[in-house]
Amino acid sequence: MSDDGPGARRESPRTPAENAELALLLEVSATPKPGNVDRGHDLSDLRFEHFLAGAVGSGEGLRRAESGAPVGVAFERAVRGMRTQEGGNTQFGCLLLLVPLVRAAAAGDPTASGVTDVVESTTVADAADFYRSFEHVDVAVSDPPEDFDALDVRRGSDAIPTLRERGLTLFDVMAASDGDGNAAEWTGGFSRTFTAAEDILADDGPVLDRISRAFVRLLAEQEDTLVRTKHGPDVAADVVRRAAEARGDPEAVAELADAFVAEGINPGTTADVVCAATFVALERGVSV
Amino acid sequence: MSDDGPGARRESPRTPAENAELALLLEVSATPKPGNVDRGHDLSDLRFEHFLAGAVGSGEGLRRAESGAPVGVAFERAVRGMRTQEGGNTQFGCLLLLVPLVRAAAAGDPTASGVTDVVESTTVADAADFYRSFEHVDVAVSDPPEDFDALDVRRGSDAIPTLRERGLTLFDVMAASDGDGNAAEWTGGFSRTFTAAEDILADDGPVLDRISRAFVRLLAEQEDTLVRTKHGPDVAADVVRRAAEARGDPEAVAELADAFVAEGINPGTTADVVCAATFVALERGVSV
């Protein structure tokens, strides 16, 4: 566990699947994370314990990803397990980022190039399993482009014949998901994920505080997909502005957390990215 | 998931190992749990995130228990995994209760008689693995009786030849641990565990609130082993009295939580029992 100089990484004492499950738990625990469920905040119908149960239920799918199961198979299993609680969709987006990252880590390469290899290798079968996953859970999404209507994810398994007809892989589906923050990670080398992971590693103090600060930094830098989907572009832009103003002032961030919960503003996509970043930071040896 | 009348139980959507891991997470999250780490309290060197990592690390040992591994093997593996965090001993006592309960649940009989069958069937090899587990972690224990000095758990593996010489099973070791709350569960049909589980099932509202109330009830009814070991019998008796006074008054319980943390009073054995009770309640279908 010694630090052998710049670039040296401590090894994680946990497997990739364990780090992914722990990332889900640390993400929901880090507080304040304005607008999201965290150690200090519940939403009206979505409570802390739903995320705990969601993380435990995701474990089997994450272990399958670690063992080399196809991304779609592992993801569908993780989502199905996540859904064994009464809160509804807790960690769908987190899992969409974590599953390929676990695959890359298990292959010894949890880097931008390693995870890009994983997502670019996805198949039509992975895309079909992704669509099947929507049958387990209600995910807030915006309308797809017109020529993608038959592939609206809300169609679930009914979209599978069209996927096969057009030969679309899961990577192709992500590439067509314009303006979705998680899809942008898939097609852009998980760039915000890796940047936020380095921020967490470079920061000081308890890991939950580091994750909270990384969350606010991400929120202040780019519009949140879920906020834009639910509240429109003006509110999404306003959230970025308010996060940028509060950033660095713990009291202001705490006030923002209470305000966003009261206003029903839930930047869930930013939580997905900080969860994925936490996984990468754990793989790179951040101390817990 | 219908209730078919008195005695009918909803089935758990999770496996026994998943319920055990979730019980570890719900236990540490339930607040207030006076004197313990919970969603609202950290201790100085023992923080919430240490328990999250401890729960995830315990998973592999709990899954081995579910698959029928010997109690000692599963327990040693769970403790070793639990220890992959910087906080030290987080859930040793919880795991000592959970491992036989998971075995009993996996065999289809998570009842007093089912778990008694499991603990009474333990062997000298299980006892040896139990002693090995103390090498992973510092556990606060009191001095053993004089004729048990060679079997002080703090000797770790060095005690194994004596165990073998005397032919002591893990159940025998527990039966000789006078005054230890967890050993009393092992040798007494897990009676406080099952009673508290029924309390949690019969209670109303979110599961974390139910666990908090069950904790205070347990604390008000019997001296906590860890408090007595660290602070002596007078403080242990005082804790019972103060818990009984506060019980039922949420504000008084919240004040007690802050007071115990400030006074360094940490009723960890009561937390172990409520964790085991949470597992049983999950197996019996309490909703999360």
Q: Which of A22, A27, A37, A52 is the best residue to mutate to test the B interface, defined by the most B CB atoms within 10 Å of its own CB?
A: A52
Say if the Cβ atoms of A53 and B288 lie within 8 Å.
Answer: yes
Q: Read off the DSSP letter of residue B187.
A: H
**Domain B16-212+275-283 belongs to what architecture?**
Orthogonal Bundle (1.10)
Closest partner residue to B52 (CB to CB) among A26, A59, A85 is: A26
Predicted confidence at residue A9, as pLDDT, reads 53
Predicted confidence at residue B44, as pLDDT, reads 87
Residue-wise pLDDT for A19-65, tens only, equals 999 999 999 999 999 999 999 999 988 999 999 999 999 999 999 99
Q: How confident is the model at residue B56 (pLDDT cuts 50, 70, 90)?
A: very high
Q: How confident is the model at residue A209 (pLDDT cuts 50, 70, 90)?
A: very high
Closest partner residue to B52 (CB to CB) among A25, A49, A85 is: A25
- Asked if residue B143 has pLDDT above 70, the reply is yes
- Asked if residue B147 has pLDDT above 60, the reply is yes
- Asked if residue A196 has pLDDT above 80, the reply is yes
- Say how many CA atoms lie within 13 Å of A172 toward its Cβ: 14
Q: How confident is the model at residue A140 (pLDDT cuts 50, 70, 90)?
A: confident
Amino acid at A61: G
**B203: which residues sit within 8 A by CB, 6+ positions away?**
B209, B210, B213, B214
Tracing tokens 């959970």 back to the chain, one arrives at B98
A286: closest chain B residue by CA? B85
Of A53 and A141, the structure prediction assigns the larger pLDDT to A53
Enumerate helices (H) and strands (E) in chain A, giving the number of each.
15, 0
Predicted confidence at residue B9, as pLDDT, reads 53
- Å between B120 CA and nearest CA of chain A: 30
Average pLDDT (B30-54) is: 96
Residue-wise pLDDT for A261-275, tens only, equals 999 999 999 999 999
- Asked if residue A157 has pLDDT above 90, the reply is yes
For chain A, domain boundaries? 16-283
Q: Cβ of B259: how many Cβ atoms within 10 Å? A: 14
Q: How confident is the model at residue B172 (pLDDT cuts 50, 70, 90)?
A: very high
Predicted confidence at residue B79, as pLDDT, reads 98
Q: Considering only CA atoms, which of B103, B247, B270 is closest in space to residue B196?
A: B270
Q: Output the CA–CA distances (angstroms, integers) from residue B231 to B101, B149, B238, in the order listed.
A: 30, 22, 11
Q: Give the residues across from B38 on adjacent strands.
A: B41
Give the ipTM. Answer: 0.95
DSSP result, A26-84? HHHHSS--TTS-BTTB--SS--HHHHHHHHHHHHHHHHHHHTT--HHHHHHHHHHHHTS
- Asked if residue B8 has pLDDT above 70, the reply is no
Using CB atoms and an 8 Å cut-off, which of residues 194-213 of chain B contact chain A? Answer: 206-208
Q: Cα separation of B179 and B183, whole Å?
A: 8
Closest partner residue to B26 (CB to CB) among A49, A57, A84 is: A49
- Å between A22 CA and nearest CA of chain B: 6
Say if the Cβ atoms of B84 and A48 lie within 8 Å.
Answer: no
Residue-wise pLDDT for B65-124, tens only, equals 999 999 999 999 999 999 999 999 999 999 999 999 999 999 999 999 999 999 999 999
Predicted confidence at residue B10, as pLDDT, reads 56
**A85: which residues sit within 8 A by CB, 6+ positions away?**
A49, A50, A53, A54, A57, B288
Predicted confidence at residue A2, as pLDDT, reads 37
Say if the Cβ atoms of A22 and B48 lie within 8 Å.
Answer: no
Residue A10 near chain B (CB below 8 Å)? no
Closest partner residue to B25 (CB to CB) among A52, A86, A207 is: A52
Closest partner residue to B29 (CB to CB) among A13, A49, A208 is: A49
What average pLDDT does chain A have? 94
Which residue blocks in A67-190 are alpha helix, DSSP H? Answer: 71-82, 92-106, 112-120, 124-133, 160-166, 170-175, 181-187
Angular region, B156: left φ>0, alpha ψ -120 to 50, beta rest = left
Q: Considering only CA atoms, which of B78, B189, B66, B70 is closest in space to residue B123?
A: B70
Q: How confident is the model at residue B5 (pLDDT cuts 50, 70, 90)?
A: very low
Q: How confident is the model at residue B6 (pLDDT cuts 50, 70, 90)?
A: very low
B59 contacts in chain A (CB < 8 Å): 18, 21, 59
Q: Which of A56, A58, A77 is the best residue to mutate to test the B interface, defined by the most B CB atoms within 10 Å of its own CB?
A: A56
Long-range contacts of B245-248 (CB under 8 A, 24+ apart): B246/B34, B246/B216, B247/B216, B247/B217, B247/B220
Q: Which of A44, A45, A49 is the best residue to mutate to test the B interface, defined by the most B CB atoms within 10 Å of its own CB?
A: A49
- Asked if residue A3 has pLDDT above 60, the reply is no
Predicted confidence at residue B1, as pLDDT, reads 35
Angular region, A12: left φ>0, alpha ψ -120 to 50, beta rest = beta
Predicted confidence at residue A141, as pLDDT, reads 86
Average pLDDT (A207-235) is: 97
- Asked if residue B194 has pLDDT above 50, the reply is yes
Q: Cβ of B141: how many Cβ atoms within 10 Å? A: 15
Q: How confident is the model at residue B27 (pLDDT cuts 50, 70, 90)?
A: very high
Say if the Cβ atoms of B50 and A14 lie within 8 Å.
Answer: no
> What is the CATH code of the structural domain delimited by A16-283?
1.10.4200.10
A47 contacts in chain B (CB < 8 Å): 206, 208
Q: Is A264 exposed, middle or buried (0-12, 13-18, 19+ CB in 10 A)?
A: exposed
Amino acid at B173: V
- Asked if residue B130 has pLDDT above 50, the reply is yes
Q: Cα separation of A15 and A30, whole Å?
A: 22
Closest partner residue to B22 (CB to CB) among A26, A47, A56 is: A56
